[in-house]
Chain A
């Protein structure tokens, strides 16, 4: 920019600098005025806290006394001497790996069925969407806890067929699956995104394929799925991040403990316990940065591999 050397020329530098600033302001001021609330929020509530949580992750901090620098020992402890960390990581990974693909499969399956020009589409779409809208609520977690309890609704229904079901919630073999089912139950919002994506596939492609004698099955694999990959990609990213962040259902269903025997100890739940149960804020900050690294790695990996499987037509 011309501003730089103008200001070094001498006595009249100050007023010129001002006029350069006011020129900048004239061209860009409105934009920054509108952006101001977001900028304050970005620096004060996002970037600033990120930097200080990175710092805190290398300290011992109990909220009352000032943080003590401990080097990397929080991270060392995490990976070498904390079985609860590895348990919570395993629980979360299991949850993500099973809930996301199953949820997306249901979402896509129902969307395909609805997209065949069915009568009553708006009604079905609304009914399937309702659980996604309500699902994040504490009320639904409470309901789930009852449904899968020993004397709950699921076992009542099974009893009609003469099956005696276990107490799904308090059995460590099944407790995590009740949370996975709760997540799949909310397939409505990715389903709506799939429906919108399906609608954008030009009909004449199918007509041409039919004339060439391609079966519906083949049309799905050769036309629908490839053209839908951007939407699959989008849904997969959003749902995976959501799954990593999931907290409320595990908290309510296990009463905040992550039990039975830590089988529902989500990573976020463990972090909450460390931070607000034991006030180990330094260690919890380190946990948060590992979570960020994990999410960032996953996102970067998806974007880097996307060019091999996501189909972009322009």
Chain B
């Protein structure tokens, strides 16, 4: 990108003021240009969803000549099954996944971070190793298992694993956080006769709302976005998630209704965008801490 001149011009401590100013202005220009370039496709899609159908392929501008919300109505009922069904399915799966992850991962993280027991280090190492495991290695036997249980075409294969703490990433994130809570609190509670459950429920969880919220939001976003799981396990259109609905839209209508397709694409991003808008500090801190050694 264009950041090269900005970097090169700074020399030593005795840089004149005008040069510092110039560097700062150039940096802002470069960063602004880069952010506009990066966000342009998103803005373009947003505007395309409000355009009259005929204008989508004739213009690179992001300002429609006239605004129309027709595409949203067309897209919403563009398939045999309405998108209201897909949105409902996606929300149900995402909420259950959030509940499962927050509960099961915090239980495991509490054991790893706070309790003494034989084999703790061994299990912790195994847990870390599962972080690196490509899901394809367990995919087929899992599919066979869920098929034998009669779970194909239900949401159970997408939800039940979350209640078994299958997302090791969040266990890791929570262990990092729990370790930072002063141990004296546990010890004081233990003096008062509190057991592990009480300490977990009354001390650790209430003090951990930031990390629990981070895990909840990421779980929601990743489950909402998940395409592979629903693709394999959900075959009936009435069970489809929003992502599967979008994919069917691209397949079935081909090139005929891009307006409707873009409108539904925009709607599918709205929940994620809202989380970004209201919780970005939490998300950014969550990402930042994963890379830091503690």
Contact A113 B27 (CB under 8 A): yes
A33 to B77, CA, bound (A): 48
Contact B134 A291 (CB under 8 A): yes
Contact B60 A52 (CB under 8 A): no
A215 to B8, CA, bound (A): 10
Chain A residues within 8 Å of B276, by CB = 126, 130, 133
- The one of B1, B10, B138, B143 in contact with A109, judged by C-beta atoms closer than 8 angstroms, is B1
Known: A37-B104, A113-B3, A137-B243. A125 touches B284 (CB 8 A): yes
Counting CB contacts under 8 A, is A131 at the interface?
Answer: yes
The A151-165 residues at the B interface (CB cut-off 8 A) are 151, 153, 156-157, 160
Counting CB contacts under 8 A, is B79 at the interface?
Answer: no
The proximity string for A residues 287-306 relative to B, scoring 1 for CB distances below 8 Å and 0 otherwise, is 11101100110010000000
Q: How far does the Cβ of A5 sit from chain B's closest Cβ, in whole Å?
A: 19
Which B-chain residue is minimally distant from A27 (CB atoms)? B117
Counting CB contacts under 8 A, is A174 at the interface?
Answer: no
A38 to B109, CA, bound (A): 10
The A124-167 residues at the B interface (CB cut-off 8 A) are 124-131, 133-134, 136-140, 142-147, 151, 153, 156-157, 160
The proximity string for B residues 114-154 relative to A, scoring 1 for CB distances below 8 Å and 0 otherwise, is 01111110010011001011111111111111010000000
- Report the stretch among B32-40, B65-73, B179-187, B207-215 that lies at the interface: B32-40
Contact A143 B265 (CB under 8 A): yes
Chain B residues within 8 Å of A146, by CB = 45, 258, 262
Contact A143 B41 (CB under 8 A): yes
Contact B120 A288 (CB under 8 A): no
Contact A38 B31 (CB under 8 A): no
Contact B273 A134 (CB under 8 A): yes
Counting CB contacts under 8 A, is A255 at the interface?
Answer: yes
Known: A138-B246, A196-B289. A44 touches B137 (CB 8 A): no
The proximity string for B residues 243-270 relative to A, scoring 1 for CB distances below 8 Å and 0 otherwise, is 1001100110000001001100110110
Q: Which of A133, A185, A251, A281 has the most CB of B within 10 A?
A: A133
Chain A residues within 8 Å of B246, by CB = 138-139, 142
Chain B residues within 8 Å of A139, by CB = 45, 246, 265-266, 268-269
Chain A residues within 8 Å of B225, by CB = 136-138
Q: How far does the Cβ of B111 sit from chain A's closest Cβ, in whole Å?
A: 4
A271 to B258, CA, bound (A): 30
Counting CB contacts under 8 A, is A114 at the interface?
Answer: yes
Q: How far does the Cβ of A287 sit from chain B's closest Cβ, in whole Å?
A: 8
The B140-182 residues at the A interface (CB cut-off 8 A) are 140-145, 147, 161, 163-166, 171
Q: How far does the Cβ of A162 sit from chain B's closest Cβ, in whole Å?
A: 14
Q: List 30 A-B contacts (CB under 8 A).
A: A29-B117, A31-B120, A33-B196, A37-B165, A38-B164, A45-B138, A45-B142, A49-B141, A50-B137, A53-B138, A53-B139, A113-B27, A113-B30, A139-B246, A139-B266, A142-B262, A147-B41, A153-B60, A156-B59, A160-B60, A196-B291, A215-B11, A216-B7, A241-B134, A245-B134, A252-B250, A255-B251, A287-B136, A296-B132, A299-B132
Mark A residues whose CB is within 8 Å of B.
24, 27-42, 44-46, 48-50, 52-53, 56, 63, 106, 109-110, 112-114, 116, 118-120, 124-131, 133-134, 136-140, 142-147, 151, 153, 156-157, 160, 185, 189, 192-193, 195-197, 200, 210-211, 213, 215-217, 230-231, 234-235, 241, 244-245, 247-248, 251-252, 255, 268, 271-272, 275-276, 281, 284-285, 287-289, 291-292, 295-296, 299
For the complex of A and B, 3 pairs with smallest distance between CB atoms: A41-B164, A31-B117, A193-B291
Mark B residues whose CB is within 8 Å of A.
1, 3, 6-8, 10-13, 24, 27-28, 30-31, 34-35, 38-39, 41-42, 44-45, 57, 59-60, 104, 107-108, 110-112, 115-120, 123, 126-127, 130, 132-145, 147, 161, 163-166, 171, 195-197, 200, 221-222, 225, 227-228, 232, 243, 246-247, 250-251, 258, 261-262, 265-266, 268-269, 272-273, 276, 280, 283-284, 287-293
